[in-house]
Amino acid sequence: MKKSLLTAGLLVAVSIAVPRAGADIIYNSVTGFSGTQGANGWSYAYKSYDVSLKDMSLATYIGAGNYYQGDLGGGRTVYLTSTGQSVIEGNAVFSIRYWTADQDYGRIRMTSSMTIGTGDYGAGIYLIDAATSTVATLATVWPKAGETQPLNAIATDIKTGDRICFMLQNAGGTPGSTSGELQAWNQTVTVPEPAALSLLALGGLVLARRRR
């Protein structure tokens, strides 16, 4: 009887551990927005045109307005909220929202939707390799005013500490013409469920059986 119960328990555990459909973990920039840098995988930064993406600066959280601010001085300030990022046309200041890998992943998927209010702005997804600090372009898009365009990418062989950066650019128009304009941008990073989690039920049942 005990053997049959153990067999049944193992079958149930295996049925829980094996299926992969629906097991992916999604990091969404809207629901994961936080006033703490790095919380829920997300961080918030900015840089000027002459600074490498890997040398970007962390933005400052403004609790009274529930947004992040990146200020390079001279009126060159960008903002990041839960639903958008801003640009300063002509001043070459870029807002950046990035996700950091908490472990190694064989494959991750990025999806997003960029909506431009006015002007002609570019958005891109970039990968910063934690080991070498090299930057790779994964995808870019340049929607026109009033357009909504998808911006998606797939990356493989992601290592712990690698950063997926969602950076909003400008087209270098008249300085200050649309200073600080917020552009709607909803991003997601989808990763497979860690094997340790998917096998947790199986390990728990085996351990319980051994203690009897």
CA distance 189 to 111: 7
Query: Tell me, what CATH number does 122's domain have?
Result: 2.60.120
Structure confidence at residue 106 (pLDDT) = 95
For residues 79 and 123, membership in a common domain is answered with yes
Residue with the larger pLDDT of the pair 13 and 132: 132
Instruction: Return d(Cα 156, Cα 134) in angstroms, integer.
Output: 15
CB 104 within 8 A of CB 192: no
pLDDT band of 17, cuts 50, 70, 90: very low
Structure confidence at residue 211 (pLDDT) = 45
pLDDT digits (tens, 9 = 90+) for 171-210: 655 544 555 678 889 999 999 987 544 444 444 444 444 4
DSSP H/E element including 39: none
Domain of 1 in residue numbering reads as 1-22+195-212
Of 21-35, 79-93, 156-170, 197-211, minimum mean pLDDT range: 197-211
Residue-level pLDDT at 131? 97
Over pLDDT 90: what percentage of the chain? 52
Residues 136-182: tens digit of each pLDDT: 999 998 887 788 889 999 999 999 999 999 999 876 555 445 556 78
Q: Tell whether 46 and 110 lie within a shared domain.
A: yes
Least confident of 65-69, 117-121, 125-129, 164-168: 117-121
Which SS3 state, helix, strand or coil, does residue 152 take? coil
Q: Are 180 and 78 in contact (CB under 8 A)?
A: yes
The pTM score is 0.79
Q: Strands (DSSP E) along the chain, which ranges?
A: 25-28, 42-48, 57-58, 60-62, 67-71, 77-80, 84-87, 93-100, 105-115, 123-128, 135-141, 148-150, 153-158, 163-168, 181-191
Is 203 found in the same domain as 130?
Answer: no
Residues 32 and 18 in one domain: no
Query: Is the domain of 140 the same as that of 185?
Result: yes
Residues 178 and 201 in one domain: no
- Asked if residue 168 and residue 66 are part of one domain, the reply reads yes
For the CA atoms of 122, 125, 126, 130, the dihedral, rounded to the nearest 10 degrees, stands at: 140
* 80-84, 115-119, 186-190, range with the lowest pLDDT: 115-119
37-41, 72-76, 157-161, 189-193: least confidently modelled range = 72-76
Please, which residues have CB within 8 angstroms of residue 54's CB and are 6 or more apart in sequence?
128, 133, 134, 135
Interacting residues of 33 by C-beta distance below 8 A, sequence separation 6+: 40, 42, 81, 82
Looking at the structure, do residues 100 and 8 belong to the same domain, yes or no?
no
- Residue 40, pLDDT above cutoff 80: yes
Question: What is the chain's Cα-based Rg?
Answer: 21
- b/e sequence 54-69, b meaning 16+ C-beta within 10 Å: bebeebebeeeeebbb
* Structure confidence at residue 86 (pLDDT): 85
Residue 129 pLDDT exceeds 90: yes
Average pLDDT over residues 28-36: 97
What is the arithmetic mean of pLDDT over 101-110? 96
Q: Are residues 186 and 140 in the same domain?
A: yes
Q: Do both 63 and 2 map to the same domain?
A: no
CA 21 from centroid of its chain's CA atoms: 22
Instruction: Judge if 35 and 15 occupy the same domain.
Output: no
Q: Are residues 126 and 64 in the same domain?
A: yes
Q: Do 63 and 119 contact (CB within 8 A), yes or no?
A: no
The tally of domains found in the chain comes to 2
